[in-house]
Every structure is written in structure tokens, then in C-alpha cells.
Amino acid sequence: MPTLAEAETILRTQFHLSKFRPNQFPIIQAALTGRDVFAILPTGGGKSVCFQIPGLLSQQLTIVISPLIALMVDQVTGLKRKKFSAECWHSQLDQNQEQHLLAQLTNQNLKFLYLSPEKLLSSKVQRLLKSQTIGLLVIDEAHCISLWGHDFRPSYLKISGWLETLSPRPQVMALTATATPTVQVEIKKYLNLIQPLVITNEGQRSNLQLQVLNRNSPTKKLISILTLIQNQPQETILIYCATRSEVELLTRILRRLQFRLQFHRPILGYHGGQTKQLRQSLQIQFTETSAVIMIATNAFGMGIDKPNIRLIIHAQLPSNLENYAQEIGRAGRDNLSATTVLLVSEFDWKIQLQLAAHQPYHDFKMTWLRQFILSSQCRSQTLAEYFGQKILVCGQCDNCRQKLKLTAHPISQPNPKTFALYQQLKKLKIPYLPTLKLVALTQPHSITELSQIPGVGSGWLKKWSGAVLALTQAHQVNRLL
């Protein structure tokens, strides 16, 4: 039987980590002794290490069930980079790739085989797996089993039926980042876990600072987004939008204003309506570029492991707290401080009602989402309560800072020079002040630059451009970073 000492050696030599995280240690210990495991670990909490190290130490095949091709390919690529035998069997393989995989499987040369639940249930795959000795079956994103889960996949429910046909039965490890108490019960029930070790995440990661800002107009939201970006001048930023059209609109606006604001980073837009080739190219660019701004729907993020995301902005409401927890969990995976900002308007609620009206338990999830946003309680505590956990106050979210009578987090505050110019512009008594804030942020020096600002039309230019440009040109400040 493999030992913990061997596991720690692999951790150091192959994963280049000095020690296991607190929750990884008991999971790996249980895996090495053949015990079933059910673990809830935060996004970025090192779930893959929990089954990859036991799989490497085993003499038998490890099968990993995962819902997304991108997630599987990312992990298989990482294992191959370490010179370990791993393959991903999915619908996009060509004939030669599939033949190569089948040869490795037949010759029992594989350590890891990644499958979608739908692929696992095909008769061809099940027939081939009958000849394999499977030591460990990993169910990743196990919340997909439950109707209460935010990504329910009916095929997940059939995994247990296939598992019962195996003799001997392999050890089972079910992993997820987000599972409410109801979902936890259903996971254990449907997988028929045998006396599992149960590990639950102990609340929100301490390096994340959560904020919610009410912004009831598109212009006010844009002002907040630009301010947040300017206050993180050399960092990777991920901005989530609720719809594809919002991704495309915000991407166009930021690219149009990029020259004036000098973001010094690529601005990418990603959603599920793009071609597979374009999405893959965007994922590679995001992963390999040191600092980048990505605007995306929630189609982006699964399988992306970029440790230095310093800021995550939700430009619209997420569909539920499970998605929110997963999405903000992509920030600060290097354990350094990171900020998450949720921008909320009344219109956002209408969008989510339209998008999710027919999803199971929609009303229940919307109620919790509204409570999270409107409550004065510690945000991390509210989020933990939704997942059936109890934690101490975080002391750093916007609600905690207000109770401790601390100033608002500086990342959401305008640059003093921007504020000074805005005060001067206000004296012109131009109606609709949010447009003036955009002018102060971008500091246009010409009619062309001024016309690119949302809300500035031909009538506005004719009436106000002379006075505004006189102020911006006289202000003589460097372009904001």
C-alpha cells in the first residue's frame, strides 16, 4: 500500500509544492487506504491533487468523470507535461486520436482516463472498461448529480448504475466546490458512497475581499468598471456578464476607451456563441498572457487555472450563489489578496428572471441571492450559511468594513486627480452627472476622443464640447493608469 511519505515526495518533486493544504492531507490519506471520499473544496482549493497523487501511486486505472471538455483537456495536458500517461476521451477526437487512446487502454498503459458522463454511458466505452482494473473512480463537479445543483446533468444520475456492474467495486471520490446541504445529501445517496470520509469547505477563502455596489444605470456601472480597472493597472481582471450581448458591448466600449485610459493589457471577450477555435485561442491567450482583461459569460472559467487574477467584477447578477461562489473562487489562487466586486441594478433582476425562470428551485435560489446582496451581515458568513457552514466574520468585506467604521476599500475609489477634474466639470452645470464622471475618467483631448464616450451625442458635443475640452486640456494631468 502506498504511503503518505511517497505522496509527499510526489507533491514536492512533480507538483513543486512544499506541503499539502489542510484539507488535502486527510483526503489523500483516505484515498491511499481505499476509503470512499466526499469532499467540498473551494474553487482553486487543489481538488485535482487529491486524486492525481493517489492515482499516480496506484497500479490500477483512475477514471475521472468531468462535465466539460475544456476542464478535462487542461488537466490531461498538465499530467502529460509531467510525463504521466493520461488521456481524455471525448466527442472531438479524430479517428487517429481515438485509435491511439484505445491502443493505450487495451495495453493497460494508462494511469488516468478522463471521460464525460455521457461518454462513460456509451456501450462501446463500458465494454472496453470491463477489461480494465479500475482502482479509483473520481466524480468531479459532483453537484451536477442533484436537481438542486446549479449545473444539473441527468447523465450523472446513471453513474451509480454503471458502478454497480463493476467487480471489484473501485474506490469512489466525489468532489465539488459548491454544494448546499440538500445537494450534499443527494450526492451521497445517488453514488451509494460506503462510509465515506466527508470533508467540507470551511467557508470563504480568507484572501478574498467581497464587495457589492448598487449601480442603477449602465453609465454608473461603466464608471465603476473603469475605476476598478484603473486602480489595478498591471493585473489580470475577469469581468462576468449575464448575456453574450453584454459581453460584446462591454468589450467594444473598453477597447474604444483603451487608448485614453492606457490599460496596457489585451482586452478579450468570450462567450458560448463563438466558434470552438476562437474560444480555444482566447483561453490560451488568457492563460499565457501575464496581465489581461477578460470579459465573459459564465461559459468561461471552468478548467482555467490562472493563479494571479487580482480582481473579479460581476457586471450583472450571477444566476445563483453557487455560480457566484465558483466564479469569485477563480481570484487569488496564489493565496495573495484579491478583490471581487458585484455591481447590481434593478434591471439585473429582470434579466435573471428571464434567463432562469424554468430552472429547478429558481425562487429559492433568487431569495438567497437577494438576501446576500441586501443583508448587512458579513458577506462571507451569508455565503457560508447558504452552503450549510458556519464561519466567523471575515472583517474585510464591505459590510464588515462599514461596521468597523473603516473607509471603503480603495480599489473602488476614484483617483484624486480624476475627482478634482470632475469637481471642475460640475461647475459647467451640464445635466446627467454620470457622463461627466466618464469625461473625468477618460480626459479626452479632442472632439474625436470626446465623441467616443457613451452618452455623448452630437447635440451634447455641439453645446458642451468647447467648455469641456478647455477644462480637460487645461487640467494638464498625465493620463491615468
pLDDT digits (tens, 9 = 90+) for 134-171: 999 999 988 888 766 556 788 888 888 898 888 889 99
Are 200 and 389 spatial neighbours (Cβ–Cβ below 8 Å)? yes
Read off the pLDDT of residues 391-445 as tens digits, 9 standing for 90 and up: 888 888 999 988 887 766 666 676 777 778 888 888 888 877 778 888 887 788 7
For the whole model, what pTM was predicted? Answer: 0.74
The b/e string for 164-185 (b: 16+ C-beta within 10 A; e otherwise) is eeeeeebbbbbbbbbbbeebbe
Are 185 and 172 spatial neighbours (Cβ–Cβ below 8 Å)? no
Length of the chain: 481
CATH number of this structure's domain 4-199, picked from the four choices 1.10.3720.10, 2.40.128.720, 3.40.50.150, 3.40.50.300: 3.40.50.300
Are 37 and 27 spatial neighbours (Cβ–Cβ below 8 Å)? yes
Strand partners, 175: 39
Residues 95-123 have a mean pLDDT of 89
Asked if residue 124 has pLDDT above 80, the reply is yes
Read off the pLDDT of residues 441-481 as tens digits, 9 standing for 90 and up: 778 878 888 887 887 888 888 888 888 888 887 775 444 44
Top CATH class of 416-475 equals mainly alpha
Other C-beta atoms lying within 10 Å of the C-beta of residue 292: 21
pLDDT for the residue 481: 41
Read off the pLDDT of residues 284-318 as tens digits, 9 standing for 90 and up: 899 889 899 999 998 887 767 788 999 999 999 99
* 208-412 fold: Rossmann fold (3.40.50)
pLDDT for the residue 209: 92
Q: Which of 3, 2, 6, 4 is nearest to 14 (CA)?
A: 6
Are 105 and 111 spatial neighbours (Cβ–Cβ below 8 Å)? no
Read off the pLDDT of residues 182-231 as tens digits, 9 standing for 90 and up: 888 888 888 889 899 998 865 567 889 999 999 988 888 998 999 899 88
Domain extent listing, the chain: 4-199, 208-412, 416-475
> 4-199 with 208-412: one CATH topology?
yes
